[in-house]
Amino acid sequence: MSSIGSSNVGFQLLKKSGWKEGTGLGAQEQGRLEPVETRVKNNKRGLGSKEPKPKPVVNDDVETAPKRHKQDVPSTKRAKLAAKRIRKMQEEEKRAQEKEFEIAFFREFWPENV
């Protein structure tokens, strides 16, 4: 690793706060002497992961894994999308009922305004 240059904004801020070059950042100057190394993460796994996710093993043995028809096993993606649509419809219905209640309430107490 290399140390940060004196033109770096972080370096300048540390100097203003009383830090001396070549010393650690801790109370007794026991902290890191070099900046933390960064790297670009291009996969969708967690920050600590180093290897790409292994691909699932496909078992082509007919005896142990009988063929399934597409109609027999619903797609999880389709099921999730359907559940999302149902939730949205239920939310819209709930909002409509609340609006109807609000309108009925105002009509009962302030009929001239509605």
Transcribe 11-55 into DSSP letters. HHHHHHTT--TTS-SSTTS-S-SSPPP-----SSS-TT--SPPPP
First to last CA, the chain: 72
Tens digit of pLDDT for each residue in 29-55? 787 777 777 778 777 777 777 776 677
Interior angle at CA 29, CA 28 and CA 31, nearest 5: 115
Longest dimension (CA), the chain: 78
Reported as a pLDDT band with limits 50, 70 and 90, residue 2 is low
CB 11 within 8 A of CB 5: yes
**Full-model pTM:** 0.32
Which amino acid is located at 33 in the chain?
L
Long-range contacts of 17-25 (CB under 8 A, 24+ apart): none
> Which pLDDT belongs to residue 16?
86
User: 113 vs 111, which has greater pLDDT?
Assistant: 111
